[in-house]
Structure 1
Amino acid sequence: MTDTYWSDLAALDWQVELGADEAILDAPVDRYALEDKAPAKAKPPKAAPAKTQTSAAHTPPTEVDSVAVARAAAEAASDIEGLAAAMTAYPHCDLKEGARNFVFADGNPAARVMIVGEAPGRDEDLAGLPFVGKAGQLLDRMLAAIDMDRAHPEAAQSVYITNVLPWRPPQNRTPEPSEIAMFLPFLEAHIRLAAPDLLVLMGNTPCQTLLGRAGITRLRGNWTDVLDRPALPMFHPAYLLRQPAAKRDAWADLLSLKARLRETK
């Protein structure tokens, strides 16, 4: 009997080691009632895709540095006409797809004063010229008040007008930082090629672009330097149409501009 006990215990230990550690289930199983199913076959593991040598034709495209492309194109322009052609051909700004016309500049390129605005609006987009809508008409009246005109043939009495962006943003929204960064090299080249004596920065966007600062109510009327030339921040005429009381400040800035022109003859 002793031999049987130890033999049974050894058999039990062996079964436990094999994983048979449950003698009975919670409920009896009728083996005759079970469906006669074949055991499910295990799915073979998926083979790893074969590594193939990437050909030059299937090389993923590298990300383009749109600012670097703009800078190279702007630096290659030797005159204003060449700069306009380079900006028209620049392919990395989506604004071009939704705009009707390229809005480059207006006035006398030899003028002593260069005005920099924000971006074309609806009227400018239709005409292909900057400052031709209601804000542009107010600007013309402001210039006439100090004996200046964008169409005047004399450099001392004419102005040259451009914008930070040459394409109209949808719904006249404020230009995005990425858009400003793309066109900053072109604007700097435009100023270099036109070589005005004085700059007028009309509104927040030109100040943000060329000064790295915004807050036109604080900046306006205070002369500063941009690209080695005096620059005067002023209210944009569109702002004056919304806030007529600010025309008093605009008139003071115009008188300051006229006085600076006399000083820098």
Structure 2
Amino acid sequence: MAPELQSPSPEALAALLDWYVANDVDVAIEEEAVNRLVARAAEPMPEPTQRHAPVSFESAPRPHPQPTIATALSPEADALAAREAAASATTLDALKVVLSRFEGCALKTTAKSLVFASGNPAARVMLVGDPPGRDEDLQGEPFVGPAGPLLDRMLAAIGLTRAEVYMTNIVPWRPPGNRAPTPQETAACRPFLERQIELVDPDYLVCLGPMAAKELLPTSEGLLRMRGQWFPYDTGKRTIQAMATLHPAYLLLQPLQKRLVWRDLLTLKAAITAATV
């Protein structure tokens, strides 16, 4: 008498399926091997059916080529588009809307938020910082990360508050991994920053950090050499005074350099005081 076959348990079936997956088995097989090449050769070929009348290439009309849509502009074209878009904005609110619709900077595709500005649009002092970081990207406002409280204390030391200054960044989107923006990225964003400065029209422009200083001030010197000095800056309406100093985030890593920034802040305070006398 032949032994009775028992159905495998669910655990055994699951183990078998796991083995199939581990060995890249994706089709079921029969008891005996089948040479499918021989099987297909033995099958009669179906008669071809003519579904359409033959077409003469001499008489057939040639289709017109479809226009190609460019998926990306050149850096020069992006910068030109940025200048035209920025010039079309007559207010800061309009500039923010135009900037939010601008697609010519690759940073927009990786950032979460547009970091436009904060503070008083009628301020006499405008701060332009290096690119926004993680916290700024999450909240959509400049200087809200760990360096923010230190910046507040820096301003308070010369009698200013956030509500009395206007703050922005050299680019409105956070570069991935907090890397430095490329020359193409800053070139695409620069017209919007220049238009922003023109619309605010401050009396004093302060660049916080080396990237902001390099982008806006007419000098090739390093930040430690150029900090604390006044440079002329043309807003498009008039020439104002511009200065560079160290970024608050740098001071968190190098606290001893606060003494240098304190001198720069005193220079700014003296200029403001002299202009109000």
User: Residue 13 of structure 1 aligns with which residue?
Assistant: none
2 CA distance for matches of 1:54 and 1:255? 73
2 CA distance for matches of 1:117 and 1:135? 11
2 CA distance for matches of 1:84 and 1:123? 20
Letter in 1 for 2:253: R
Task: Identify if the C-alpha distance between structure 1 residues 252 and 80 changes in structure 2 by more than 3 Å, giving closer, same or farther.
Answer: same
TM-score by length of 2: 0.72
1 CA distance for matches of 2:133 and 2:122? 25
1 CA distance for matches of 2:63 and 2:256? 66
Q: CA deviation at 1:58?
A: 3.1
User: Residue 72 of structure 1 aligns with which residue?
Assistant: 84
Task: Identify if the C-alpha distance between structure 1 residues 138 and 55 changes in structure 2 by more than 3 Å, giving closer, same or farther.
Answer: farther
User: Residue 263 of structure 2 aligns with which residue?
Assistant: 252
- The SS at the match of 2:168 is strand
Identity score, percent: 48
Conserved 8 A contact 1:207-1:214: no
User: Residue 152 of structure 2 aligns with which residue?
Assistant: 140
Find out whether 1:58 has 2:61 as its counterpart. Answer: no
1:22-61 → structure 2 map (5 Å cutoff): 55=64, 57-59=66-68, 61=70
Deviations 1:164-212 (A, max 9, x none): 1111101111111111101111011000000101000111111111125
2:232 alignment partner, one of 225, 235, 250: 225
2 CA distance for matches of 1:56 and 1:81? 43
**Which protein shows a greater Rg?**
1
- The SS at the match of 1:168 is coil
Letter in 1 for 2:153: R
- The SS at the match of 1:231 is strand
Conserved 8 A contact 2:217-2:242: no
1:64-103 → structure 2 map (5 Å cutoff): 64=74, 65-103=77-115
1 CA distance for matches of 2:221 and 2:248? 17
TM-score by length of 1: 0.75
Conserved 8 A contact 1:150-1:160: yes
Task: Identify if the C-alpha distance between structure 1 residues 193 and 54 changes in structure 2 by more than 3 Å, giving closer, same or farther.
Answer: farther
2:202 alignment partner, one of 180, 196, 199: 196
Find out whether 1:209 has 2:215 as its counterpart. Answer: yes
Task: Identify if the C-alpha distance between structure 1 residues 54 and 260 changes in structure 2 by more than 3 Å, giving closer, same or farther.
Answer: farther
Aligned Cα root-mean-square deviation (Å): 2.0
Letter in 1 for 2:201: A
Conserved 8 A contact 2:227-2:245: yes
Q: CA deviation at 1:70?
A: 0.2
Conserved 8 A contact 2:158-2:265: yes
Letter in 2 for 1:226: Y
Conserved 8 A contact 2:232-2:240: yes
Conserved 8 A contact 1:117-1:236: yes
1:170 alignment partner, one of 173, 176, 182: 176
- The SS at the match of 1:58 is coil
1 CA distance for matches of 2:182 and 2:257? 26
249-258 or 214-223, larger mean C-alpha shift: 214-223
Letter in 2 for 1:197: D
User: Residue 114 of structure 1 aligns with which residue?
Assistant: 126
Q: CA deviation at 1:99?
A: 1.2
Deviations 1:21-52 (A, max 9, x none): xxxxxxxxxxxxxxxxxxxxxxxxxxxxx9x9
Task: Report the number of matched residues.
Answer: 209
User: Residue 263 of structure 1 aligns with which residue?
Assistant: 274
1 CA distance for matches of 2:244 and 2:274? 18
Letter in 1 for 2:82: A
1 CA distance for matches of 2:69 and 2:244? 46
- The SS at the match of 1:57 is coil
2 CA distance for matches of 1:60 and 1:189? 30
